[in-house]
Amino acid sequence: ASEAFQQNEIMPVFLEEMGKSSYHPRIAGFFEVADALMRTRDRIIIGGEDMDTVLAEAEQEVNDILARAKAEAEAAAGS
């Protein structure tokens, strides 16, 4: 690391906070996909539903979310 980096008083605080933070990718539909995956987990673990059935349904739901988000992003970029 450079001398300037090592002497920066704020950098240790920044690096410490980075260790506690989480990163959410900036992709269209990310939060909707995350919600769908959490619902899938709940249906399997809490609801006791058949995993293969639920995962197949979740795959379709996620693909639909991503397709819609892509179309919306492309439409917004074109306007």
pLDDT digits 0-9 by tens, 51-63 = 999 999 999 999 9
- Give ∠ CA 46-24-13 in degrees, rounded to 5: 115
The pLDDT of residue 79 is above 80? no
pLDDT band at 1 (very low <50, low <70, confident <90, very high): low
Q: Of 42 and 10, which is predicted with more confidence? A: 42
The pLDDT of residue 39 is above 70? yes
Greatest CA separation for the chain: 58
Q: What is the pTM of this model?
A: 0.69
Given a contact cutoff of 8 angstroms between Cβ atoms, the answer to whether 65 and 59 are in contact is: no
